[in-house]
Structure 1
Amino acid sequence: MFISSVFVFSLVTLTLALPPTKRAVAYVDPNLGGGSMLDDGRMKVIISGLSSPAVLTDDGFLNFAQAIGFSFECLDLHLGGPQSANLGDGNGYVNQTTELRQDYGDALLGTCLESLIGGNHLRVFRQNGSEADTGALFLAVSKEENVFEGHTIVPDGYNIGRDLLVQNATNTNPLPSFGGVTYSATLEQVTGLLPAGSAGVNHGIATDGVTSVLTVTIV
C-alpha cells in the first residue's frame, strides 16, 4: 500500500510538472503579431496547421504540390532573389522556404515550359515562430506572364492564381495524387486577413480580400 501511494504521488507530481499541451490551430492571423499577409504580392492561400503533419514538411508539401500541378523550378534553378514575409509568429521577416511553378503535367521538366510561356506559381512561407507555432504554410500564389513580358503578373493574377490552385486541390474526381500518396482537401474562404484593393500590392494589382484556407489530409 505504501509503495502504491508513493507511485501515485510521483505520477501526480510529474503530471503537474509537464507543460500544457498546445492545441492544434489552423493558423494565427499575422496581423495580430505585427506581421502581414503581404510579401511583395499577397498571400492568398493558407495550408492549415490542422492538415496531415506530413503535408506541412518541405518534402511533404512538394509532393502535395506536385499532385496539384506544381513542381520545382526548371532544372531546379532559381533566378532572382527570394521574397520575405513576416507572419507575426515572432520570427520577423523570413525568406520564402521554396518557390514552385506550374508543371503542365510533367513534374520533371514541365516548369521549364512555365518559365517560357508563363502560368501559375507560388512561394511558401511557414508560420513556426515561438509566438505562433502553428506549422501552417502561407502561399503567395499568382499567375504570371511569359518570359518576354518579364514574368509580370497577369491582370487579376493574384485572384486567378489562388482560384486555380484551390480548384486543383479540392478536386474529387479523381482526388489529387502523386508518388503513391493521395490527398483530400477541405476549403474555408476567409475575409479580414487582408484588405481588398491594391494598396501595398506589387504591380498595383487589386485583389478581392479573400483568403482560401485548405486543410489537406492524406487519405
Structure 2
Amino acid sequence: MRSLSLLLVLSPLTLALNVPRQASGFFNPAQGGGSMLTDTGNGLGEPLNVIISGLSSSQVLSVSGVTNYAKAIGFSTECLGIHLGDPQSANLGDGNGAKNQSIELREDFGDPNLGTCLESLNGGNHFRVFIQNGAQHDTGALFLAASQEQNAANNHNIVANGYDIGRDNLVSMAVGTKSFGGVTYQTTSQTVSGLLPVGSAGINHGIAIDGIVNVLTVTVQ
C-alpha cells in the first residue's frame, strides 16, 4: 500500500518530465492540429524554420524581449514603423488557433534606427515572430518564419532558395555572444529535422525547402 501511495505521488512528476516542452522547449504544432507553415492567405504557407526555445531566458520570450534580442543580432523594427503587406497567421497547435504574427523584424545593416529602411529598399533578411503561449501548450517558444527577400522594385518577393537562405543567415548572425541595450545574450543552435516537409509542395512562391529547423537557445548573461 505504501508503494502504491508513493507511486501516485511520483506519477505527476514523471508525467511532467515526459512533456515535450521539458526536453526541447517547444511543442510540435502538428501534434496539436497546427502547422509548421504560416498561412499567407493564398492557400500556401511559409516555413517556421527557426524556433527560439522556451528553455531560453524568459527575458527573451516576449515581443519586447525578442525585439531587443533582434537588435543585438542585426535586425530591428520596420522602417519608420511602417509595415507593407498583410500580416501572416499561424496555428502553433497550442490551443490559440490561427493568430497573426506578433511582430516582423528586418535586417538593419548595422543601424538599428534606420537600417531597416535599406532592407525595405534593397532587400535582405527578415523574419516574422509567432508565440506559442496557448492554454494547451504554453511553452513560451518563439516560432520564426525567416526568409531572404528581393528589393522593393521586385515587390519584396523571396529570392531563389530564400527560405533556407534566410534561416541560415539568421542563425549565423545569432550564434555566439551578442549585446544590445545593456543586455548580453549567448545563443546556441541545434538542427532538427522532421518538423517541416522537404520540397515545394504547399510552400509560398513554389520555393523548395530542405525541411530543416534550427532551434536556438538564448541565455541572458
The aligned length equals: 199
Give secondary structure in 2 for the equivalent of 1:138: strand
- The residue that corresponds to 1:86 in the other structure is 91
Q: Residue deviations 1:68-122, cap 9 Å, x none?
A: 1110000011122110000011111000000010001000000000000000000
- The residue that corresponds to 2:133 in the other structure is 128
In 2, the alpha carbon distance for the partners of 1:58 and 1:44 equals 18
Matched to 2:60, the amino acid is V
In 1, the alpha carbon distance for the partners of 2:16 and 2:137 equals 11
- The residue that corresponds to 1:101 in the other structure is 106
- The residue that corresponds to 2:77 in the other structure is 72
- The residue that corresponds to 2:149 in the other structure is 144
In 2, the alpha carbon distance for the partners of 1:100 and 1:186 equals 20
Larger Rg: 1
- How many angstroms does 1:131 deviate by? 1.3
In 2, the alpha carbon distance for the partners of 1:153 and 1:22 equals 41
- How many angstroms does 1:187 deviate by? 1.1
- How many angstroms does 1:207 deviate by? 0.7
* TM-score, normalisation: structure 2: 0.87
- The residue that corresponds to 2:42 in the other structure is none
Map 1:110-189 onto structure 2 (within 5 A): 110-171=115-176, 175-189=177-191
Matched to 2:205, the amino acid is H
* TM-score, normalisation: structure 1: 0.87
RMSD of equivalent CA atoms = 1.6
C-alpha contact 1:32 1:88 (8 A) present in aligned 2:
yes
Matched to 2:134, the amino acid is G
In 2, the alpha carbon distance for the partners of 1:57 and 1:83 equals 18
In 2, the alpha carbon distance for the partners of 1:185 and 1:176 equals 8
Q: Residue deviations 1:5-57, cap 9 Å, x none?
A: xxxxxxxxxxx9xx989666310000000100001311100000000000001
Identity of aligned residues (%): 61
- The answer to whether structure 1 residue 213 and structure 2 residue 218 are counterparts is no
In 2, the alpha carbon distance for the partners of 1:92 and 1:208 equals 26
